[in-house]
Amino acid sequence: MRIDPGNPTPIFQQIVARIAAAVAAGTYKPGELIPSVRQQAVALLVNPNTVARAYEQLERDGVLISRRGNGMEVANGAPELAAARARAAVAATLGEAVRAARAAGLRRGDVDALYRAAWQGANADEEARQPEASS
């Protein structure tokens, strides 16, 4: 998981979004423990209180459950919940982008081309992050 210190979104919210996305994608499955606050803070080079705040938010959102003595685990139903929230967030962002494009006088074909370029760029970024398969 990566966070972007230059992003205007607060770090704890970035952590919330990344963990929710990982749950939605099946990286973390229901009943599975996620890294401890301390482990996550060390991995991300952030204050443990920031991670704790993110975990508390994910627990309030129903994505994580605190298991006394064990840590935080993914709640049953969390993948569906996280996926629904991700779809809603993407829909809202796309809606804002379409409104901005219309306000700027762009045509649908222009917006479609911008979307395709953004999609290809995101896929290229993801492929660049993937470790090469060993021969």
Residue-wise pLDDT for 71-113, tens only, equals 999 999 999 999 998 899 899 999 999 999 999 999 999 999 9
CATH architecture designation of domain 11-78: Orthogonal Bundle (1.10)
Buried b (16+ CB within 10 A) or exposed e, 67-77: eeeebbbbbee
Collapsing DSSP to helix, strand or coil, 20 comes out as helix
Which residue is associated with the tokens 């627990």?
59
Q: What confidence tens digit (pLDDT) does each residue in 5-25 have?
A: 888 999 999 999 999 999 999
Which residue is associated with the tokens 């991300």?
44
134 has a pLDDT exceeding 60: no
pTM over 0.95: no
49 has a pLDDT exceeding 70: yes
Q: How far apart are CA 37 and CA 49, in angstroms?
A: 8
DSSP string, 39-84: HHHHHHTS-HHHHHHHHHHHHHTTSEEEETTTEEEEPTTHHHHHHH
Amino acid at 34: I
